[in-house]
Amino acid sequence: MFRPMGRRRVETEHCLLPALLALGWSGSRTASNVVLYSHAWIFLLTLFAFVCYFFGSRGFYHRQGRYLLYLGLGILADIFMAIAASLRILPVRVPGEAIPYGSVLFLIHMTTALAGMFGFLAVVLYVWIKGRHRDFPRCRRLTYRLLFPVWAVGATIAIFNFASRAFFQVNLYDFL
């Protein structure tokens, strides 16, 4: 099997490469390829959550359509990514790398993304309990003007880090 010089081979026991292979991915098992394809899945899930949160918070703010459906789908995608990343179902690091808890950028990403996710969850539960046909002027402004931008900052940091790792093999969390 041809392997370019300078790339290490990734063992299947240390990451979820079999799951990627089961999803139809094939090719050489180098560390950079694992990072590229695993981050592609994370990028797509983050993009899906972004679209759901955008249309959900915009629909809630303007009192349009199925905003609870969009917000619920965004919350489910976000919770799935959080659980999958913590259980290493979605590989987010090359095996052997530590979680960058010392990075300010990583802490900003985690804080804003989790605050947005739990904020959206609280809004959806509040609206479901009180009744979705009632008027929630403060809650509508909070969701559209605060929660979505806060969550988007955290998601954007993660997307830029994933793109830099996948295409340039540079971890942004190492710089800040």
Record the pTM. 0.72
Is 9 strand, coil or helix?
strand
80-113: pLDDT as tens digits: 988 887 887 766 666 667 778 888 999 999 999 9
Distance of CA 46 to the CA centre of its chain: 4
Find the helix or strand (DSSP H, E) in which 47 lies.
helix 31-61
Q: Report d(CA 165, CA 168) in Å as an integer.
A: 6
Q: Report d(CA 157, CA 161) in Å as an integer.
A: 6
| Domain boundaries, given as residue ranges, for the chain | 42-87+98-174
Closest CA to 121 of 140, 85, 147: 147
137-156: pLDDT as tens digits: 888 888 889 999 999 999 99
Lowest mean pLDDT among 21-25, 52-56, 147-151, 172-176: 21-25
